[in-house]
Structure 1
Amino acid sequence: MTDTTSAANRAMHAFVERPALMLRAENVRKTFTLHGQGGIGIEALAGVSLEVERGECVVLVGPSGAGKSTLLRCLYGNYLASGGSIAIRDDDTALQHLEITCAAPHDVLRLRRNVVGYVSQFLRVIPRVATRDLVAAPLVARGVAQDEAYARAETLLARLNVPQRLWPLAPATFSGGEQQRVNIARGLIAQHRVLLLDEPTASLDAENREAVSQLIVEAREHGAAIVGVFHDEDTRERVATRRMPLAAARTQTPLGEAA
């Protein structure tokens, strides 16, 4: 039995036997190849394993370069892991989970729409689209009526202290903190069962960090499984149910050698 098959079998049993399990990563590795520098491989993750259940918020901690953001991007499927297994609960499948590392693109997109939300530090959106429409879009994509989606978007924007006068405007000219709060509202509105948060409070003042922290705590208390990176200790203390330390890997592999 191959390592891949063994990992798949372990994931299948874990999701069937543990109804609260939402995310399972086993021995995840990620190596970046620098083609402009002779094909040197930079090892960003070296065998990271993680399980997250409903109602947990696991905060990744470690020095810069430890691979915290890289792990989140692998969990979301933005980066393809170089090795290991990443599985997320998917009740629409017979196996009750989807293996991100070998899933078809349309299955990954479906999982993102229905199960997994991701909030990065930066707002990347289509220009000239109004803030309210941007925030409501994940609900509209699920078939929620536009009026209801708008109402929920406005509630979130108000809680995040985004001025009402900005709601009809595109956020391209907003301040960094305002854009980040729009990004958070967009990421939280669909109430995904798995949330991946990459320094969502990095550009915020204390008042707005507290507003975001409260929303994260509420999501956790409603059963979301959360993995996050937070730059300040007060936020980590506020939202975390446990912490997972990561150590910098960053080994270099010469061209032609296995990573």
Structure 2
Amino acid sequence: MTLSSQAATHAFVERPALMLRAEDVRKTFTLHGQGGIGIEALAGVSLDVERGECVVLVGPSGAGKSTLLRCLYGNYLASGGSIALRDEGAPLQHLAITGAAPHDILRLRRNVMGYVSQFLRVIPRVSALDIVAAPLMARHVDEDEARERAQTLLARLNVPRRLWPLAPATFSGGEQQRVNIARGLIARHRVLLLDEPTASLDTENRAVVASLITEARERGAAIVGVFHDEDTRERVATRVLTLEAPGSQAPLNEAA
């Protein structure tokens, strides 16, 4: 076991509230079509996130905010550092995302970790209601209950009832994003990663989403998010992590 692994094990055992740990996470993209040039997208970011926290990532364009979220979710394989997520079924009470088997990543996404991106991946011929209910049914929640909870969330997010039985391909950007948010929040994951969830929304719907995020945090979710809207950021953040573009000064961890 490496020193980093030992430290993570100690942290997850000794700190029951700890849900997510990232240490010195780095990401470099290799441009194979341009002679193998390496582009550093993320340099040496570390953070711990506990239950009931919402850590908001801020920084200039190119600082790697979305890249960090994708590394935390396992969409990107980090080029260096380590990422661990609480996994109460594991012997050491956590799972290292870096190097984890695909089936373990999928299990954590189903049961522990939710992700809301800026855009809904439209599924042809699947209704908005079924798209939102799907994460619950993947957990073997009764279909009627899953649909009822999906209806409640869609109504709260002001998605018109007439759209619920339709596939979202023809919805407006804001409507698609609200379906996306409903799908990401319905399962009440213990860890939530939010990448600009309010980017396409008007003021009224941004306020609804901020309330939903706050409620998730108060239930004990550990949240990491990017919000360019300052009002939303101030409403949901308990801490701010400032990222600098690679090559600049090290990240700063500030109280919100």
TM-score band w.r.t. shorter chain = over 0.9
Deviation at 1:5, TM superposition (A): 0.9
Structure 1 position 235 matched with structure 2 position 232: yes
Deviation at 1:36, TM superposition (A): 1.2
| CA contact 2:19–2:222 (8 Å) conserved in 1 | yes
Which residue in 2 is equivalent to 1:136?
133
| CA contact 1:123–1:179 (8 Å) conserved in 2 | yes
Deviation at 1:75, TM superposition (A): 0.1
Q: Distance in 1 between matches of 2:204 and 2:123?
A: 28
Deviation at 1:225, TM superposition (A): 0.1
Question: What are structure 2's unaligned runs of at least 5 residues?
Answer: 249-256
Alignment of 1:181-192 (within 5 A): 181-192=178-189
Which residue in 1 is equivalent to 2:252?
none
Cα shift readout 1:38-60 (whole Å, capped 9, x = no counterpart): 11101111110010000000000
Deviation at 1:250, TM superposition (A): 6.5
| CA contact 1:65–1:250 (8 Å) conserved in 2 | no
Q: Distance in 2 between matches of 1:178 and 1:23?
A: 31
Give the 3-state SS of the residue equivalent to 1:102 in structure 2.
coil
Which residue in 1 is equivalent to 2:151?
154
Which residue in 1 is equivalent to 2:103?
106
| CA contact 1:194–1:224 (8 Å) conserved in 2 | yes
Which residue in 2 is equivalent to 1:46?
43
User: What amino acid is aligned across from residue 244 of structure 2 in structure 1?
Assistant: A
Structure 1 position 89 matched with structure 2 position 65: no
User: What amino acid is aligned across from residue 31 of structure 2 in structure 1?
Assistant: L
User: What amino acid is aligned across from residue 172 of structure 1 in structure 2?
Assistant: A
The TM-score, its normalising length taken from structure 2, stands at: 0.96
Give the 3-state SS of the residue equivalent to 1:101 in structure 2.
coil
Q: Distance in 2 between matches of 1:125 and 1:23?
A: 29
The TM-score, its normalising length taken from structure 1, stands at: 0.95
The worse-fitting range, judged by mean Cα deviation, of 125-134 and 222-231 is 125-134
**Residue in structure 1 matching 2:202, options 184, 191, 205:** 205
Structure 1 position 163 matched with structure 2 position 160: yes
Structure 1 position 9 matched with structure 2 position 2: no
Deviation at 1:125, TM superposition (A): 3.2
Give the 3-state SS of the residue equivalent to 2:83 in structure 1.
strand
Give the 3-state SS of the residue equivalent to 1:84 in structure 2.
strand
Q: Distance in 2 between matches of 1:198 and 1:112?
A: 16
Deviation at 1:126, TM superposition (A): 1.8
User: What amino acid is aligned across from residue 158 of structure 1 in structure 2?
Assistant: A
Give the 3-state SS of the residue equivalent to 1:27 in structure 2.
strand
Which residue in 1 is equivalent to 2:18?
21
Q: Distance in 1 between matches of 2:176 and 2:192?
A: 19
| CA contact 1:24–1:50 (8 Å) conserved in 2 | yes
Give runs of ≥4 in structure 1 deviating > 4 Å: none
Cα shift readout 1:181-229 (whole Å, capped 9, x = no counterpart): 0000000000000000000000000000000000000000000000000
Share of identical aligned residues, percent? 82
Cα shift readout 1:106-150 (whole Å, capped 9, x = no counterpart): 000000000000000000032110000000000000000000000
Which residue in 2 is equivalent to 1:257?
none
Give the 3-state SS of the residue equivalent to 1:168 in structure 2.
coil
Give the CA RMSD over aligned residues: 1.0
User: What amino acid is aligned across from residue 135 of structure 1 in structure 2?
Assistant: V
Deviation at 1:231, TM superposition (A): 1.2
